[in-house]
Amino acid sequence: MPEKHPVTPDGRYFVVRGRLWRRADPALGEAERAALTRELMAGRRAKQQAMRQGDEAGREAARRRIDAAKHALGERGPVWWRDGAPDLNRHMARNTPYAEWFAALEG
């Protein structure tokens, strides 16, 4: 199945509307990744429901749940790679070392 969004050559980020987003740690096992993804999605559903109900405390609890899942997946917090490269999460690809690669995609 092809990727919905382009992935940087080193596999660290995917690109949405020109912005880099950190991918999950590839060292996670498939079962662990699946469980964490289910938790992330449950947190997102809980946040949406809390917002519809005007439940500020529920919204904040859901946000913490989402953040914990993203940290566990490696999408937030300390980077999962060990070569000392900086975290470019949320940077525009054109302003990073991936600029040439990204420009070639746009063709």
Q: Do both 18 and 53 map to the same domain? A: no
What is the spatial distance between Cα 28 and Cα 74, in angstroms, rounded to a whole number? 9
Per-residue pLDDT, 4: 86
pLDDT at 1: 40
**50 closest CA partner among 42, 40, 60:** 60
Regions of the chain with pLDDT less than 70: 1-3
pLDDT of residue 41: 98
67 in any annotated domain: yes
The total number of structural domains in the chain stands at: 2
45/67 same-domain check = yes
Containing structural domain, residue 33: 29-74
Whether 66 and 40 map to the same domain: the answer is yes
Contact in structure between 22 and 86 (CB atoms under 8 Å): no
pLDDT of residue 3: 64
Residue 82 lies in a domain: no
Is 102 in contact with 13 (CB distance < 8 Å)?
no
Distance CA 85, CA 44 (A): 30
Are residues 36 and 66 located together in one domain of the fold? yes
Same domain, 19 and 34: no
- List helix spans (H) across 1-107: 30-53, 56-73, 99-106
- Please tell me whether residues 16 and 34 are part of one structural domain: no
CB contact at 8 A, 22 and 12 = yes
What is this structure's pTM? 0.87
* Predicted pLDDT of residue 106: 77
Q: Residues 34, 69: one domain?
A: yes
**Cα(91)–Cα(54) distance, integer angstroms:** 32
Q: Is residue 55 part of a domain?
A: yes
Report how far residue 19's alpha carbon sits from residue 95's, in angstroms, rounded to the nearest whole number: 10
